[in-house]
């Protein structure tokens, strides 16, 4: 019999923790959740005050038996799942399965997986926090009720198999609303006048921007305005009327929270949100380092706090002063948002001495990039501000006012190490000038511009919006975005998130019928309720109860109203080859398709085929545009029946009018031919050498 059995969530975390405990201890993994609501039904007993009907997750019977066997062979079992609501819920389920008293001192947590943190956690066991567990249960139950009650409406009116979610549907709404803003946007014309001048002494050129006339600002909206001003400025002499010098400080950003890590990794590393969290999880759970073994490299990565420990602060001070010098260090404290949970520190390196470069060879490329980002951001957050000398010069010609702003870096401070994306800007150097000095006009020109619509959301900007609006929490951002991409309600194109036709239809139906539930204010309000439950200030079943009664009335009302409403479909110009009716355009999981309006008598359906206006280079037939599984376009003749039948035309490249095409059996043959030619060419070059 062993003294201690420690149960964690993942094998990687288990391997890291093992080396910190003695030989009389054993560490095993639960592989995440082991109990959950059933997939085949709602699994919530409404009549029994919303009691969840948990079952063991399918496929985990063998693991559960192993856990029970190991628990019986241990004097004491400790539940060391992740230190958040989800981890607390997993610990609670484990306690139930293993017959552990939830009021016993069985729960341990580690904000970072270091020897000191693990030993401290093991020496300070506590009871399972039922407030955190109930907050997780409340979210799970509410989301299951919303999904199971609303999804059937989509099945009836759009397509069976679709699903709705409380948070996911609001995220889709944000993206659809933004797309509609872009589509309805009307550009407005505006102009800028740029004046380039040089000083008398050094002949240094610098640019000035038009401001107005006689000290009053003027907005330029038409070419006529601009032409009038340029006409007045012909032959004008330009003088310096004012010079303002100053000093500007730029402070570093705080260490990462989950949200800011996801945003920065998206902008700087081009990481998808899901990828960022996966790589960060690996860094937290432990990486095998030479001479050291499995080592956790960062603190827990699901947090909305910018707080750091005194130990980490002291380590950062020592590192900064030894590498950069004392003047580069500044003891900084960052204010955490009022609605942050603050259960964990900010995301930071667990071992300051393990610099990214020193362990680069032990990390994957993605691990190194993310670790370096986290490491540098944390160190920079404790460094001195960057200092700039600034100068603002006012220039006047024929009573028209221009201004030039410049700055030069006086002290790099934290920017020696870390630069924010928005800080990457070039600043103009302005020569030494005196008030009253005449400057020489080098050139003057005007530029027409138009206001632009708001930008589409990217994963990074959507996470920022969700956080600002109080929708979701650190653990929900990644799964929310992953879910709506998987359901094909949105798609990603060059980092931009664009609603699909299916997403628009689903969003419209949900907003029209469930606008009280699928909206930003309600979703944010529910997050506040979950926080109150986690703090022990609210009863989770009371929250669900108060939500359910009005929600059920809405569902019943919508169900009755839609019972006799037939969804109007767009009629195509394609006749059904089976019954002759004109087919209609419907929306499915993968977008638009053609369906016979005679359903269920006629069940004919087929995909909508996109064609181009260039005839097939081989037979003159119609060329269709199709997509591979990876959504890459390819072009194929409608007469190409596959299996060497019909026309042979198929190509990655869009055909051009009049181009000749060398017939191949299919794309595979083209690839084989190219590989063969490449090998022949390499062999020929080698032989010549």
162 half-sphere exposure, CB direction, 13 A CA radius:
28
Strands 287-289 and 293-295: antiparallel
Q: What is the DSSP letter of 421?
A: G
CA dihedral 480, 255, 265, 171 (to 10 degrees): 20
The sign of the CA dihedral 657, 640, 578, 583 is negative
- Which of 393, 3, 67 is closest to 204 using CA atoms? 393
User: Residue 498 burial (CB < 10 Å; 0-12/13-18/19+)?
Assistant: middle
Count of CB atoms within 10 A of residue 562's CB?
Answer: 15
- Calculate the CA 427 to chain-centre distance: 31
Distance CA 77, CA 128 (A): 13
Query: What tokens appear for 176 in the block?
Result: 């659809």
Q: What is the separation of C-alpha 313 from the centre of its chain, rounded to a whole number of angstroms?
A: 29
Annotated active-site positions, please? Answer: 300
Q: Which helix (H) or strand (E) holds 122?
A: helix 115-123
Q: Specify whether the CB–CB gap between 147 and 163 falls below 8 A.
A: yes
Alpha carbons 374 and 280: distance in angstroms, whole number: 10
As a whole number of angstroms, the longest Cα–Cα distance in the chain is 98
Q: For 424, phi and psi rounded to 5 degrees? A: -80, 75
- In sequence order, the 6+-apart residues with CB closer than 8 A to the CB of 565 are none
Beta bridge mates, 407: 390
- Other beta carbons within 10 angstroms of residue 618's beta carbon come to 20
- Which residues, 6 or more positions from 421, have their beta carbon under 8 angstroms from its beta carbon? 264, 267, 268
What is the full DSSP assignment across 291-334?
TTEEE--BB-S--------HHHHHHHHHHHHHHT-GGGB-----
Relative orientation angle of helices 365-381 and 273-285, to the nearest 10 degrees: 80
Please report, for residues 224, 298, 450, 562, 673, the alpha-carbon distance to residue 353 in angstroms, rounded to integers and kept in the order given: 64, 12, 51, 64, 53
What is the sign of the dihedral through the CA atoms of 346, 479, 507 and 611? Answer: positive
Element (H, E) at 35: strand 35-36
> How many other β-carbons are positioned within 10 Å of the β-carbon of residue 337?
12
CA 436 vs. chain centroid, Å, equals 53
Burial track 649-666 (b if 16+ CB lie within 10 A, e otherwise): bbbeeebeeeeeeeebee
For residue 535, the surrounding DSSP H or E stretch is: none
């Amino acid at each position: 019999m062993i003294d201690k059995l420690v149960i964690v969530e993942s094998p990687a975390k288990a391997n890291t923790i093992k080396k910190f405990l003695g030989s009389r201890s054993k560490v095993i993994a639960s592989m995440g959740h082991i109990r959950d609501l059933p997939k085949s039904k709602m699994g919530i007993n409404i009549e029994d005050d919303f009691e969840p009907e948990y079952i063991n997750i399918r496929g985990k019977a063998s693991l559960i038996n192993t856990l029970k066997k190991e628990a019986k062979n241990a004097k004491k079992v400790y539940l060391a799942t992740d230190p958040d609501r989800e981890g607390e819920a997993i610990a609670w389920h484990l306690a139930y399965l293993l017959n552990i008293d939830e009021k016993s001192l069985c729960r341990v947590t580690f904000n970072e997986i270091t020897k000191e943190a693990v030993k401290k956690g093991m020496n300070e066991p506590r009871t399972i926090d039922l407030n955190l567990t109930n907050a997780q249960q409340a979210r799970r139950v509410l989301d299951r009720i919303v999904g199971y009650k609303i999804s059937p409406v989509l099945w009836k009116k759009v397509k069976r198999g679709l699903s709705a979610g409380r948070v996911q549907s609001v995220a889709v709404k944000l993206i659809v609303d933004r797309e509609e803003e872009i589509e309805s946007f009307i550009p407005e014309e505006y102009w800028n006048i740029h004046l380039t001048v040089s000083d008398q002494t050094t002949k240094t050129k610098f640019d000035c921007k038009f401001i107005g006339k006689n000290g009053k600002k003027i907005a330029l909206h038409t070419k006529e305005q601009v032409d009038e001003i340029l006409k007045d400025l012909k032959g004008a002499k330009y003088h310096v009327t004012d010079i303002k010098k100053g000093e500007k400080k730029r402070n570093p950003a705080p260490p990462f929270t989950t949200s800011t890590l996801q945003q920065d990794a998206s902008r700087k590393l081009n990481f998808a949100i899901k990828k960022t969290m996966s790589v960060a999880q690996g860094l937290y759970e432990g990486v095998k380092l030479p001479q050291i073994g499995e080592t956790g490299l960062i603190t827990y990565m699901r947090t909305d706090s910018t707080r750091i420990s005194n130990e980490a602060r002291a380590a950062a001070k020592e590192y900064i002063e030894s590498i950069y010098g004392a003047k580069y260090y500044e003891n900084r404290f960052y204010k955490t948002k009022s609605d942050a949970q603050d259960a964990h520190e900010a995301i930071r390196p667990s071992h300051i001495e393990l610099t990214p470069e020193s362990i680069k060879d032990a990390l994957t490329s993605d691990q190194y990039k993310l670790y370096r980002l986290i490491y540098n951001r944390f160190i920079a957050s404790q460094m001195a501000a960057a200092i700039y000398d600034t100068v603002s010069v006012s220039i006047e010609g024929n009573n028209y006012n221009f201004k030039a702003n410049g700055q030069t870096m006086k002290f790099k401070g934290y920017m020696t190490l870390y630069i924010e994306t928005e800080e990457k800007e070039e600043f103009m150097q302005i020569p030494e000038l005196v008030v009253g000095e005449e400057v020489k006009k080098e050139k003057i020109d005007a530029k027409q511009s138009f206001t632009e619509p708001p930008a589409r959301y990217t994963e990074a900007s959507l996470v920022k919006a969700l956080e600002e609006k109080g929708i979701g929490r650190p653990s929900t951002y990644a799964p929310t975005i992953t879910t709506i991409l998987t359901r094909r309600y949105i798609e990603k194109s060059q980092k931009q998130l664009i609603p699909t036709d299916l997403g628009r239809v689903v969003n419209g139906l949900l907003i029209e019928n469930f606008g009280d539930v699928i909206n930003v204010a309600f979703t944010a309000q529910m997050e506040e309720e979950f926080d109150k439950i986690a703090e022990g200030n609210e009863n989770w079943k009371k929250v669900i109860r108060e939500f359910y009664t009005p929600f059920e009335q809405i569902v019943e009302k919508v169900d009755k109203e839609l019972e006799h409403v037939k969804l109007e479909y767009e009629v195509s110009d394609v006749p059904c080859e089976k019954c002759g009716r004109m087919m209609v355009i419907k929306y499915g999981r993968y977008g638009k398709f053609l369906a016979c309006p005679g359903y269920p008598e006629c069940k004919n359906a087929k995909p909508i085929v996109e064609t181009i206006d260039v005839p097939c280079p081989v037979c003159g037939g119609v060329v269709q545009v199709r997509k591979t599984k990876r959504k890459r376009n390819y072009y194929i003749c409608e007469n190409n029946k596959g299996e060497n039948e019909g026309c042979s035309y198929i190509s990655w490249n869009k055909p051009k009018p009049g181009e000749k095409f060398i017939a191949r059996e299919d794309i595979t043959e083209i690839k084989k031919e190219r590989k063969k030619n490449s090998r022949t060419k390499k062999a020929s070059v080698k032989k010549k050498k």
